[in-house]
Amino acid sequence: MDFDIAVFGDLNIKKLKDLGNPFVEQIVDKYVKLCTPSKVTVITDSDEDIAYLKQRAIDNKEETPLDTAGHTVHFDGYYDQARDKENTKILIPKGEKLSKYMNTADRDDGLEEIMGLLDGIMADREMLISFFCLGPVNSRFSIPSLQLTDSAYVAHSETILYRPGYGEFKNLNGSDNFFHFIHSSGELDENKNSINIDKRRVYMDIEEERVFTVNTQYAGNSVGLKKLALRLAINRANREDWLCEHMLVMGAKPEGKDRITYFTGAFPSACGKTSTAMIPGQLIVGDDIAYIRKADDGKAYAVNVEQGIFGIIENVNPIDDPLIYRTITTPRELIVSNVLVREGVPYWLGMGKSLPADGVNFSGEWSLGKTDSKGNEIIPAHKNARYTVRISELDNCDPKLHDPEGVPVSGIIYGGRDSDINPPILQSLSWTHGVFMGATLESETTAATIGKQGVRKHNPMANLDFLVLNLGTYIENHLNFGKSLEHVPLIFSTNYFLKDGEKFLNDITDKKIWLLWMEGRVHNEFDAIKTPIGFIPLYDDVLSLFSQLFDKPFSSELYVKLFSIRTEKLLGRLDRMEKIFGEELEMPKSFNEELVNQRERLLSTKNEHNKDVISPYDFV
């Protein structure tokens, strides 16, 4: 392949040629000719190349240095602050159908539209070509990934979030077995924000394992290797009989015991996922996306797809999240986005201190009382403001973060945001029942997605937004994966958001209690009470954990409020689930049976006790 030396330069051409991969060269040639950048820079795994990206982001004014060494701030446009579900589409061939919850477009039409949007979009700009590895390098989990972008902020973010992959591409020996991503921020305003938000598009072409994203900077839309690669990997996992999940990976360490028990966990955005992975005294492998495979010993093993965290910064404070707070307020390479900045210092909502009355935020120059074009008051920092940092910078980073074999999974957690139904912790009655628990997960919406907040949404395995195959197929994969294992992980559900009126019944830090109860159940150290919806803790065990871990009382009255079974509300949720899954094609028979059995257990229990809300003591 001959490249234009005036655009590439000798060194960048050499970097591409050294890969010995004609498929990489074809992709690069195609999109350079389409997007017409005036300059192309190829980024390898070298420290020099990675430093170049950060400096370019600063020089381009996509990032601004802050007072703390290594920290920068990035602002997305006022209307580019969350994942754009409406314009995020799966491209499928004519005649094919997916679940109605999945946003699709005709593949031919979508490709024609996106190629039109990309045509000449990088004129007079620099295209950055980067190579990454999803999962640890030199591993059966590894998926090499190629990123083309005109945003140094996007490329810089990816060097923090993902493992370098130039070497992995050399190891491909010319294979086309990799993902690729094409991104452009599009036309920018004076604040370096995308202007043409009405033409914001995120299109996933599963057939060629590629993603296109244009006219957006918000990382959830633009950082291709995150939630966009998640879709591609879910499709690949379906073909290859493993699981790609929207899950944390963490190691639980009970005090006074010499062991680490690994869990994965799926939580919709803003439902406690990152803070669970960051519980003091525990170890973090990852906070967002996991690949899970069966190993020769019959166990499930998981890896963190990423090496960094793109976390919500709201309410990160020294009391509730001391590990994260210390990390993001001390010198290291770190990006914060869409916070308030005054005199080089960032401020965010819920940080535990008063915020200044003026500064710079995602709306530009800001002062208290500022309104937008519709007269809405602009808050000082966005509720979906973020921080980006490497996990290795955290004090509780697990030594197995980059282990190519992964970590053995003993438990799986499904957690939602639910104010009035589920107890704070449940263990499933079986693997099939656990898959049912994950598949019927509901959560109240937050600022992490565009749209109204506080609406109860069905979100199976916290992964509905990212599925590219029918829901029945996805659930059946989970059922079959468990059947294939000789050592099956226990499955739990958590709910940190149960309320009594407007007051939360649990403190934020109480999640450590529920984690260590789960860890004890894995090792048969706690008994449990069997209820129609799963196993719940005994009062004495919870009382003991609160006393040992927090030197904190735990009343029998609170226990009853937390662990009562609310049969009428649970039956109402089953009604919603029956309607949802009744419209799905080819649901697994065992899943439908589980739904029927759950209803029968609840009705029987309600009739037996002749009341809607049943105390946990009634089951003893």
* Per-domain residue ranges of the chain: 5-62+78-240, 244-310+400-619
Taking the CA atoms of 612, 613, 617 and 620 in sequence, report the sign of the dihedral they define. positive
Cα–Cα distance, 2 to 315 (Å, whole number): 52
Confidence bin at 418 (pLDDT 50/70/90): confident
Task: Flag whether pLDDT at 447 surpasses 60.
Answer: no
Confidence bin at 280 (pLDDT 50/70/90): confident
Cα–Cα distance, 431 to 414 (Å, whole number): 13
* HEC letters along 346-409: EECCCCCCCCCCEEEECCEEEECCCECCCCCECCCCCCCCEEEEEHHHCCCECCCCCCCCCEEC
Predicted pLDDT of residue 452: 59
Please list, in sequence order, all residues whose beta carbon lies within 8 angstroms of the beta carbon of residue 151, skipping any fewer than 6 positions away: 62, 128, 183, 184, 185, 217, 222
Predicted pLDDT of residue 543: 98
Beta-strand (E) ranges in 135-246?
A: 143-149, 163-164, 179-184, 201-205, 210-214, 243-245
133 is catalytic: no
Predicted pLDDT of residue 493: 96
Mean pLDDT calculated for residue range 527-549: 97
Task: Flag whether pLDDT at 217 surpasses 90.
Answer: yes
pLDDT in tens, 233-265: 999 999 999 999 999 999 999 988 999 999 999
CB atoms within 10 A of CB 10: 9
Mean pLDDT calculated for residue range 85-114: 92
Half-sphere exposure of 574 (CA within 13 A, CB side): 22
Predicted pLDDT of residue 423: 96
**Closest by Cα among 180, 233, 295 to 474:** 233
Predicted pLDDT of residue 445: 66
User: Pairing between strand 201-205 and 88-92?
Assistant: parallel
Predicted pLDDT of residue 593: 96
- Helix (H) or strand (E) holding 49, with range, is helix 47-59
CB atoms within 10 A of CB 480: 12
b/e 315-337 (16+ beta carbons within 10 angstroms → b): bbbeeebebbbebbbeebbbbbb
Task: Flag whether pLDDT at 282 surpasses 60.
Answer: yes
Cα–Cα distance, 197 to 50 (Å, whole number): 29
Mean pLDDT calculated for residue range 371-395: 95
Cα–Cα distance, 333 to 311 (Å, whole number): 15
Residues in the chain: 620
Predicted pLDDT of residue 99: 82
Task: Flag whether pLDDT at 451 surpasses 60.
Answer: no
Predicted pLDDT of residue 427: 98
pLDDT in tens, 10-48: 999 999 999 999 999 999 999 999 999 999 999 999 999
Task: Flag whether pLDDT at 153 surpasses 70.
Answer: yes
Mean pLDDT of all residues belonging to the chain:
94
Q: What is the DSSP letter of 496?
A: T
| Annotated active-site residue in 35, 133, 244, 271 | 271
Predicted pLDDT of residue 108: 96
Cα–Cα distance, 53 to 41 (Å, whole number): 10
564 in Cβ contact with 614 (< 8 Å): yes
Cα–Cα distance, 588 to 189 (Å, whole number): 51
Please list, in sequence order, all residues whose beta carbon lies within 8 angstroms of the beta carbon of residue 408, skipping any fewer than 6 positions away: 262, 295, 299, 300, 301
Predicted pLDDT of residue 384: 93
pLDDT in tens, 487-524: 999 999 999 999 998 899 999 889 999 999 999 999 99
Mean pLDDT calculated for residue range 145-156: 98
Instruction: Pick 5-62+78-240's CATH classification: 3.90.226.10, 3.40.449.10, 1.20.1730.10, 3.40.140.10.
Output: 3.40.449.10
Predicted pLDDT of residue 456: 81
Task: Flag whether pLDDT at 274 surpasses 80.
Answer: no
Confidence bin at 465 (pLDDT 50/70/90): confident
pLDDT in tens, 429-444: 999 999 999 999 988 7
Predicted pLDDT of residue 277: 87
80 in Cβ contact with 194 (< 8 Å): yes
- Helix (H) or strand (E) holding 167, with range, is helix 166-171
Predicted pLDDT of residue 272: 81
432 in Cβ contact with 285 (< 8 Å): no
Half-sphere exposure of 408 (CA within 13 A, CB side): 15
Predicted pLDDT of residue 529: 98
Task: Flag whether pLDDT at 555 surpasses 80.
Answer: yes
More confident: 509 or 111: 111
**CATH (residue range 244-310+400-619):** 3.90.228.20
Mean pLDDT calculated for residue range 474-484: 97
Question: Among residues of the chain, what percentage have pLDDT more than 90?
Answer: 88
